[in-house]
């Protein structure tokens, strides 16, 4: 009897000691998830107040300034143009026969070709965007093209031309479901399908496997962030979007959705701890610090990080100082180095972060395909491109302080000379600031210097 009593007391003492130890435990705020489970921080509701107006002016200017970098239809790659559409949606303009037109209109009304290959093609299961051929030509991952067009919100019956006739967005959805392969990276498949499919829908792939959105989410939860593309930021973005759509549709945060929510929140804590005092993020993402050398490197990690952060963060977190600092850093870099070359991936993911942030601050509802058909405008007749005026670049580097950048300012009158043939510029995503826009038509009409992005041939780095 006494021995049982002693055993009971010993058990109680251990239990109380364990609880006291747990109560004194402080949640770490630095390590990524693979170093151990980090509990989600408690979000304390804050009183609503007006947004940082000066920051919003800076964001507006950075978005507008960066919109002046134009791609050339039928010259630049689908990969590049898709990234621009992800950032600017239907407002993304391309140079089409000397006229600036909506990229989504041009893409929908023509059968564009790149290096002799069509952008879209029919398949036995429906249709798809052309798959990988070389880095930066078509898509680098399965369904990446469609994921990058999600924010354009094309309705199900929207059509794209192919060499064998038109295909619809629904045809592309059907093919993505049938062709799903778990041996490939499924980040962009989740990114794309969570926009168009109901969570309750189950489908069978051509390999005889049954899938649904929840299973795709589970797959992405198991993806190791530090081993995924672009530092794992796209993985976290896709999970954040899927979770957000689940909540918008009345779903509860439990089961696989709780795991997704916890992963997103763990990495929000890790991202905050890795942020530099100036608001930037390490070039090595969650792997550790690295120091950027070029303008593209300065905005690459920061743009990718902030793009998923503003989607993954709770609404009450958007006015946290560290998130505002991240947005301010990107805005200032895009404005200060508006004359500098930049790669398409870093540039457009950085702009996307600003656009998403502005929309969340202003309460813009996430687009849904049932909102109605997209409106297209007829493309203009072909015209001759403006003759390039070769002028030397300004000898003084672009500089701008945060105080000076609050008011939009025109681009410098002098720009760099344009190479004889854009196709010969074989470095992916670089920008040649070159063409005079004085005779290019635009609605509303504006006369501003234009920056032309370089079409890729062969590339070595994927961002």
pLDDT higher than 60, residue 422: no
* Average pLDDT over all residues of the chain: 75
Backbone angles phi, psi at 281, to 5 degrees: -125, 155
pLDDT higher than 50, residue 20: no
pLDDT higher than 80, residue 54: yes
User: Percent of the chain beyond pLDDT 70?
Assistant: 69
The residue-averaged pLDDT of 227-249 equals: 91
pTM listed for this prediction? 0.73
| DSSP helix/strand/coil, 246 | helix
Identify which of 55, 131, 101 has the alpha carbon closest to the alpha carbon of residue 306.
55
pLDDT band for position 284 (50/70/90)?
confident
Q: What is the pLDDT of residues 372-413, one digit of tens each?
A: 545 566 766 543 332 222 233 333 323 322 222 222 333 333
The residue-averaged pLDDT of 327-349 equals: 92
- The two three-digit tokens of residue 278, written as one number: 């100036």
- Cite the DSSP H helix spans in 89-209: 103-109, 144-148, 169-178, 187-196
- Cite the DSSP H helix spans in 67-168: 78-88, 103-109, 144-148
Residues whose CB falls within 8 Å of the CB of residue 265, separated by 6 or more in sequence, listed in order? 40, 41, 312
Identify which of 140, 79, 132, 114 has the alpha carbon closest to the alpha carbon of residue 428.
79
């Amino acid at each position: 009897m006494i021995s049982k009593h002693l055993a009971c007391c010993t058990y109680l003492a251990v239990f109380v000691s364990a609880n006291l130890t747990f109560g004194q435990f402080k949640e770490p705020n630095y390590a990524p998830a693979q170093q151990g489970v980090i509990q989600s921080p408690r979000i304390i509701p804050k009183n609503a107040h007006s947004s940082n107006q000066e920051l919003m002016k800076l964001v507006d200017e950075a978005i507008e300034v960066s919109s002046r970098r134009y791609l050339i239809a039928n010259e630049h790659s689908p990969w590049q143009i898709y990234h621009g559409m992800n950032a600017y949606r239907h407002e993304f303009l391309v140079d089409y026969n000397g006229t600036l037109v909506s990229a989504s209109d041009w893409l929908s009304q023509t059968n564009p070709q790149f290096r002799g290959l069509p952008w879209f093609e029919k398949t036995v299961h429906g249709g798809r965007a052309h798959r990988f051929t070389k880095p930066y030509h078509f898509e680098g991952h399965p369904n990446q093209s469609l994921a990058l067009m999600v924010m354009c919100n094309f309705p199900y019956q929207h059509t794209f031309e192919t060499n064998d006739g038109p295909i619809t967005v629904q045809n592309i959805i059907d093919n993505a479901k049938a062709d799903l392969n778990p041996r490939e990276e499924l980040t962009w498949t989740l990114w794309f399908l969570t926009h168009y499919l109901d969570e309750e829908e189950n489908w069978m792939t051509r390999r005889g496997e049954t899938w649904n959105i929840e299973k795709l989410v589970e797959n992405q939860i198991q993806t190791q962030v530090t081993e995924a593309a672009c530092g794992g930021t796209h993985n976290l973005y896709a999970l954040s979007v899927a979770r957000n759509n689940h909540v918008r549709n009345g779903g509860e945060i439990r089961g696989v959705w709780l795991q997704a929510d916890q992963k997103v929140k763990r990495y929000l804590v890790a991202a905050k701890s890795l942020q530099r005092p100036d608001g930037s993020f390490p070039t090595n993402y969650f792997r550790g610090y690295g120091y950027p050398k070029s303008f593209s490197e300065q905005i690459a990690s920061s743009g990718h990080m902030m793009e998923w952060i503003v989607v993954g963060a709770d609404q009450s977190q958007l006015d946290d100082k560290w998130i505002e600092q991240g947005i301010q850093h990107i805005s200032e870099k895009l404005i200060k180095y508006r004359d500098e070359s930049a790669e398409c991936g870093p540039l457009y993911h950085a702009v996307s972060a600003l656009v998403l942030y502005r929309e969340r601050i202003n309460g813009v509802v996430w687009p849904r395909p049932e909102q109605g058909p997209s409106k297209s405008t007829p493309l203009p007749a072909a015209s001759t491109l403006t003759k390039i005026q070769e002028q030397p670049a300004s000898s003084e580097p672009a500089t701008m302080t945060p105080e000076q950048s609050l008011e939009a300012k025109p681009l410098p009158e002098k720009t760099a000379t344009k190479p004889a043939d854009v196709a010969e510029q074989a470095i992916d995503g670089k920008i040649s600031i070159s063409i005079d826009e004085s005779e290019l038509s635009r609605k509303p009409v504006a006369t501003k210097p234009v920056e032309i992005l370089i079409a890729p041939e062969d590339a070595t780095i994927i961002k």
